[in-house]
Amino acid sequence: MEFYNVKTKSKVNVPESNITKKKMVRKTKNGTTQTRYALIAQVDGMKLWKFVNQETYEKTNVKEEK
C-alpha cells in the first residue's frame, strides 16, 4: 500500500505486514460523534499515517490497534 512520507516528501510502498489500522472516535462540542479511520505504517523507525474512508478501512485486512 502506498503512503506519503512528509519528512522525505516522497511516496513509499509499504507491505501489509508493516501496517496496522486504528479507529478514533470522539465527541464534538456540539454533542455529535466523529469517527476517523487511519492506517498506520512502520517504515525506518517512523510512523506514517494515512486517513481513509470507512469502506477502505473495513476492506483492509490488517491488525487493528486499540
> pLDDT tens digits, the chain, 66 residues: what are they?
999 999 999 999 999 999 999 999 999 999 999 999 999 999 999 999 999 999 999 999 999 997
pTM above threshold 0.85: yes
* pLDDT value of position 66: 79
The span from the CA of 49 to the CA of 6, in Å, is 10
Contact 25, 33 (CB under 8 A): yes
* pLDDT value of position 24: 97
3 state DSSP class of 59: helix
- What residue segments make up the domains of the chain, in order of their start? 2-64
The span from the CA of 44 to the CA of 3, in Å, is 13
